[in-house]
Chain A
């Protein structure tokens, strides 16, 4: 019994030493270079190897597919042909072959065909519901989670996949968790320390430093490779930065290259701790749940913030919810009513390396972060677009749509007017009423009063 104890202590000592070595490697090779914005090139090599492997895997799968028929990928045009004609054009075509009788109104029974066909088309494929689930990949990227229709092809492929599982879960995951813990602790500690200083330029500079280094560490913690375009359009102080929203990681991506004042709801728990310490070093805008309901109060706080030219630009996601990065949905007009210069940013992730979309119905935050940390990598492009301001004669909604189109165009995303809130809510009745009104005007003309002709 006495002899066991020293052995156990010995084992603990060895473990402790190993842990120290591990930690110093991580800090020395990853954390410190990250903080100084220096890249040692590990991630680049990793990505190159990954690309080669995935290309090889794609070829193998395609070869395997030639022998067996399988599901063709969903092309950007969708799975069914859709006529793009308006209601008037389509119904007009239907009626062309039908004898017309003008007395008492212009209705024919074949009008229903138009609504019927549109309805069936939308049942097979619609523009909205597909935006709330992950994008389907053209070819498998060796992650089980994206394996929808790919079957066993060959032994070699399975071995590579197995190797991938080992690398991702046993090597990358612990590394990434370590980095995330270091990054977040550094954020909390650093911002609290900076908060103790009196207001001064030095304080602002230090606060920016702490924030950026933390986000850089977190980005390494996701193996994020980010390509920035048009850096000359970077948001300036007193402005509002708007971007399309795919996941909470968007914040890490954006904050890697600039400092922003975050806007959001006050949370409890770990998020709450982070929020409170962040606000000590520089002003962010955190709202209580009750405050969020009062639109005027919200607008006033944001207006005050951007009026102060020493404060950092605000970061807002006008969609209000996470969308799957294939489209941009309706921008809520609140942020566009405040005034100030809008700096649009387009973010497009490459789904081949890891699916960044947060499907909050399927995953909670913790399981989402685990999925992120066990993906291959996060690869994305970010474009800074030229600043925009509201023009004369343009109201907030039109301005919001203009910004949305610019972002969609740059990022290669589909520009939709549908509300991202349809993820959880029902569509408003007023849209149906619009359709009914449009159809009514086809039956009785634009003037929907009593017909001059009485019944026959």
Chain B
């Protein structure tokens, strides 16, 4: 995380007035003081090498994540393109997608554009689980690979192929045999994304 990050955490812990703006400057994520400290605690306990950043192995050490069929894709979401280390800022940024959507969020002064936990950004997160090469389209090949991750050896290639074909047919509106992000959004417009892609803190 670096010295500045630590200073921020320290500032949070000792701040006498609960100044939301000050926290938001420190982290681009409007979480409460205690929630951020909790997550930092968790980050630190996962960081076995104690170098202020998580590697893919650190994530794999969580047994329940290691047995998740999409575990590797989820872990990948924490690492920006071409990087092997996730610092605390990046960790928080990725987790921020899963904040519940509150109607009375006062984050207009926060960032330009949408907050990370908007419906669109949640869908984008899921889209990127399928989009392996990050070219903003889900090709038949990519869909097949992700399906293979989810089903293991239990379904034949032909059957999986037909499932992939049907899925693309349903979603594809411009005939390029790929699913773009806008097509993805259209197909899932009735799904309760806000509820299903959110994590609630108990405190």
Contact = CB atoms under 8 A, between A and B. Distances in A.
B82 interface: no
Contacts of B146: 112
A426 B64 CA distance: 11
Given A126-B65, A427-B66, A436-B150, A109 B167 contact: yes
Contact of A422 (B63, B125, B200, B201): B63
Given A109-B184, A451-B162, A72 B69 contact: no
B174 interface: no
A109 B130 contact: yes
Interface stretch (A6-14, A93-101, A139-147, A154-162): A93-101
Given A79-B38, A151-B13, A436-B152, A101 B199 contact: no
Contacts, number: 200
Main secondary structure on B side of the interface with A: helix
A16 interface: no
Interface string A211-226: 0000000000000000
A455 interface: yes
Interface in A209-263: none
Given A97-B192, A443-B155, A450-B156, A107 B201 contact: no
Main secondary structure on A side of the interface with B: loop
Contact of A126 (B14, B18, B64, B187): B64
Interface stretch (A41-49, A54-62, A127-135, A349-357): A127-135
Contacts of B203: 72, 79
Contacts of A109: 126, 130, 167, 171, 179, 184, 187-188
Interface string A109-126: 111111111111111111
Given A149-B37, A436-B69, A117 B196 contact: yes
Bin the interface of chain B by size: 35 or more
A437 B154 CA distance: 6
A275 to B, nearest CB: 33
A94 B67 contact: no
Interface residues of A, number: 69
Contacts of B62: 122-123, 126, 128-129
B74 A119 contact: yes
Given A101-B170, A116-B70, A149-B37, 16 more contacts: A71-B38, A81-B200, A97-B190, A105-B162, A107-B147, A109-B179, A112-B126, A117-B199, A122-B62, A122-B65, A431-B63, A435-B69, A436-B153, A439-B150, A448-B154, A454-B162
Interface of B: 13-14, 16, 18, 33-34, 37-39, 41-42, 45-46, 59-71, 74-75, 95, 98, 125-126, 129-130, 146-147, 150-156, 158-159, 161-163, 165-167, 169-171, 179, 184, 187-188, 190-193, 196-203
